[in-house]
Amino acid sequence: MKQILLVEDDPFLIDIYTTKLKEVGFDVEVVNNGEEAFLKIKELKPDLLILDIVLPQIDGWEILREIRKDDTLKNLKVIILSNLGEKTDVEKGIGLGAIKYLIKAHYTPSEVVEEIKKTLNSN
């Protein structure tokens, strides 16, 4: 079973995505702030990180930078799932090593799950 770490601070979205991902057979862990995220990433070494950008304490940009500097984590697949939808944000996310940048308003939760399935089945 593929393990996903969801880093999201909105309780409503946590509930929706956790439910949907578990329904299709993923093992899902959740953290709701940037500081906790980095510790959990190192502990779990998940198959995929779903990362929001706007987070308490440490933002998603910093988490992504730190992951890419860490030899044990630099190959971790990261999908950014954010409301930040400017072209510069998307370019920044991909430039920092995210494999996909999904803007929350442009995807239904079911579509997000489909993107996640595609990403995890492509290796």
List Cβ neighbours of 39 (8 Å cut-off, separation of 6 or more). none
Which structural domains are found in the chain, ordered by start?
3-121 (3.40.50.2300)
| pLDDT, tens digit (0-9, with 9 covering 90-100), for 105-115 | 999 999 999 99
Give the mean model confidence (pLDDT) for residues 90-103: 97
Whether residue 25 has pLDDT greater than 80: yes
Average pLDDT of the chain is 95
Between helix 109-121 and helix 11-23 the angle, nearest 10°, is: 50
CB 46 within 8 A of CB 5: yes
Task: Give the confidence band of 121 by pLDDT, cuts at 50, 70, 90.
Answer: confident
| pLDDT, tens digit (0-9, with 9 covering 90-100), for 42-56 | 999 999 999 999 999
Q: Name the helix (H) or strand (E) containing 44.
A: helix 34-44
